Amino acid sequence: MGELNGLAQEIAQWREGKGFVTNWEGMLAKLMLVVTEVSEAAEAVREDDREKFAEEIADTFIRLLDICGSMGIDIEAEIERKMEVNRGRPYRHGKKSQW
């Protein structure tokens, strides 16, 4: 097991020990918590608060890794698989503007 997968398992165990549940039935709520953390990171950017931004990005990863650890997702393999797809895409995915 790699470092990210090990961390995902550790986070899932920690969360479970605190009495919270992460499962498929509650996944929409868990995903909205990820969105909330990203929104808090965006607010930190608006406030020009880099320390808070870093904390909220960490919270985002903690929630995502909890999902991975709880759902048995090999996130390292999934990232590598997806990066292979991304590497094959054209520059800016063929779009003319940055956005």
CA angle 25, 83, 56 (to 5 degrees): 55
Residue 97 belongs to some domain of the structure: no
57-87 pLDDT, tens digit per residue, is 999 999 999 999 999 999 999 999 999 999 9
Residue 78 belongs to some domain of the structure: yes
Q: With the C-alpha atoms ordered 87, 6, 12, 74, is the resulting torsion angle positive or negative?
A: positive
* Structural domains of the chain, count: 1
More confident residue, 90 or 93: 90
12-52 pLDDT, tens digit per residue, is 999 999 999 999 999 999 999 999 999 999 999 999 999 99
Of the candidates 57, 56, 52, 61, the one whose C-alpha atom is nearest the C-alpha of residue 7 is: 61
The whole-angstrom distance between residue 75's C-alpha and the CA centroid of its chain comes to 10
The yes-or-no verdict on residue 4 having pLDDT over 90 is yes
Residue 45 belongs to some domain of the structure: yes
Return the CATH number at 51: 1.10.287.1080
- pTM of the model as a whole: 0.90
The whole-angstrom distance between residue 13's C-alpha and the CA centroid of its chain comes to 17
Domain of residue 36 covers: 23-86
Residue 62 belongs to some domain of the structure: yes
